[in-house]
Amino acid sequence: MNRNTIRTICIILFIIVTLFYLSPLFLPKERDELDQVHLKKPFTFWTEKMLKLGLDLRGGMEINLYVDLSELPRTEHDQAVKAAVQVIQNRIDQFGVAEPLIQRVGDNKIVVQLPGLRDFQRAKDLIGKTALLEFKLVATGDEQSKVINQMDIWLAQNYHNYKFLNVLDYTSHNPDLFASDSLEANSPQWFSNIFSDLVGTGSQGMSVSHENKPLIRNLLEDEEFLKAIPAGFQVALSRENSLAPRADLPIYIIYSNPELTGNYLTDARTAMGGQSDFSNQNKPHVSLKFNREGARIFERITGQNIRRQLAIVLDNTVYVAPNIQDRIRGGEAQITGSFTLQECNDLVIVLKAGNLPAPVSIGEERIVGPSLGSDSVKQGMIAGIVGFILVFLTMVLYYKFSGAIAILALILNTGFVFAALTFFEATLTLPGIAGLILTLGVAVDANVIIFERIKEEIASGKTIRNAIDLGYSRAFVTIVDANVTTLIVAAVLYQFGSGTIKGFAVTLFIGILASFFTAIIVTRAIFDSLIAQKNINKLSI
């Protein structure tokens, strides 16, 4: 396989991947979240890969929070801010905002951006309340069966109140549910096992599939449904696994009354199993320490509930539910399992966050209306179109047919940038649009250098083929130097910049990489193809 064949295959793959990841851009932008859930495979891929718009384009809310570190020793400042970030992240995830940004800025400032948010007061109340860490026992098997059965009965009687549990959508998720054709459509009998079908049971306990997560979340946010849960019990989801977002999510039925709260916890640390601890040898685990009263309560709980699960719950989300192996005395405990060191460190932050070592206050807030965001999108599109037209006219008028080839590469370059943003699930912001427009001009710089070198070679008497070969080879080093320096700047901006600067850096970085490929590989392939097909004695350049 020669070099030209390999290059052609690369270009074809480049175009196919670009078109594949561009396709979600043609879906309706303002699609309701539940409608996304109802789109069946394979369409769920496109709804999940839709280009995400930032706060400045979509509208929403930005809140600046400040952690009061004045009462803490300096050695605990960093941990206190990390704990606050973890609590806020957990609450925002439960709030249901798509693509939130929670970012630490400086020593004690936390910036929270909530694109698409409409209920501003609720968000402020949710973020500003005190964290609640609780230790709750998981219900027994018989108790769980009774709760699930009652939920099935209640939903069968009230399914008509939930649009996301209508006949068509529910049957598509559960095609084997309806065994009898004699049942009348819309009869409650059609919905006799809604909750138990949404909550699967396996060797690891109950879990919710990726497709059913939004359905369960909507149920758990509904006040009427929560009232129907039997007294004394609570239904809680596990924390989302960031490493496997499409994996099944464990769900627990726990007692609503906590056995112990985070007020009794004095310390939580990551530790490694000693050589004498054969079951946990050299494995990371979490070490807990309670105060005197907490130690007494914890000893009673563990002594009376051996071989039962004790769920550690933060803001109604279960972080871990270990099995009680034995009575635990002395106020110290270990949470062991298949944890990585990073997972243990994250759990320590969560445990300490339940009893925040420093208060968090709302310093300032900014609300961006959807109309303002829409205006920003329109202005960005106008700027992009005007910039493209000016570049097009300049290249075609100055470099004639060769300029048109450069414009074709520019179009492919722009498409690749949007496809890459979709693939990496990046968020497009107003500075990101600025970075994209900048790449329109930067993208043709490489072609300008190449074309000028080709013109010099032609003027010196070289043939068209030799002039093209020399033009590309001699311009290559200059193009690489220019692109590498720009990529370094973009990387530095992304590493040390704030959210808006990062949006600019991302599009600039992707645009530079795409422009390098299209300028060096794509345009060269077009020139080689033209020369191979006909004997060209004069090049329009």
pLDDT in tens, the chain (541 residues): 677 788 888 888 888 888 888 877 665 544 444 344 344 444 455 555 667 777 777 778 888 888 888 888 888 888 888 888 888 887 677 666 666 778 888 888 988 888 877 777 777 766 766 667 889 999 998 999 999 999 988 888 887 777 666 543 444 444 444 444 433 444 444 556 788 888 877 656 889 888 888 888 888 888 888 999 999 999 999 987 766 778 889 999 999 999 998 888 888 888 887 555 555 567 888 888 899 999 999 999 999 999 999 998 877 888 888 888 888 888 887 777 667 787 788 777 767 766 666 778 888 887 776 666 677 777 777 877 888 888 889 888 988 889 899 898 888 888 888 888 888 777 777 787 878 878 777 778 888 899 999 988 888 888 888 888 898 988 888 888 888 988 998 889 888 776 667 778 888 888 888 888 888 888 888 888 888 766 667 778 8
Helix H segments across 424-535? 430-443, 445-459, 464-496, 499-517, 523-533
Cα–Cα distances in angstroms (integers) from residue 378 to residues 372, 384, 385, 437, in the given order: 10, 10, 11, 14
> Residue 533: what residue type?
Q
Rounded to 5°, the CA angle 379-413-24 comes to: 70
Q: What is the pTM of this model?
A: 0.52
Architecture in CATH of 38-129: 2-Layer Sandwich (3.30)
Q: Write the DSSP symbol of residue 29.
A: S
Alpha carbon distance 349, 79 (integer Å): 8
Q: Residue 6: is it exposed, middle or buried by C-beta count within 10 angstroms (0-12/13-18/19+)?
A: exposed
Collapse the DSSP code of 27 into the 3-class scheme (helix H, G, I; strand E, B; otherwise coil) and give the result. coil
Torsion angles phi and psi, residue 37, rounded to 5: -65, -35
284-290, strands of its sheet edge to edge = 265-272, 284-290, 332-335
β-pair partners for 265: 290
Centre a 10 Å sphere on the Cβ of residue 149 and count the other Cβ atoms it contains.
14
Name the residue among 110, 103, 108, 106 with its Cα closest to residue 72: 108
Torsion angles phi and psi, residue 192, rounded to 5: -75, -20
Tokens of 39: 């789109």
The residues spanned by each domain of the chain are 3-31+369-533, 38-129, 135-353
Alpha carbon distance 447, 163 (integer Å): 55
H or E segment at 400? Answer: helix 370-423
H or E segment at 381? Answer: helix 370-423
Q: Write the DSSP symbol of residue 184.
A: P
Collapse the DSSP code of 56 into the 3-class scheme (helix H, G, I; strand E, B; otherwise coil) and give the result. helix
How is domain 3-31+369-533 classified at the CATH fold level?
Multidrug efflux transporter AcrB transmembrane fold (1.20.1640)
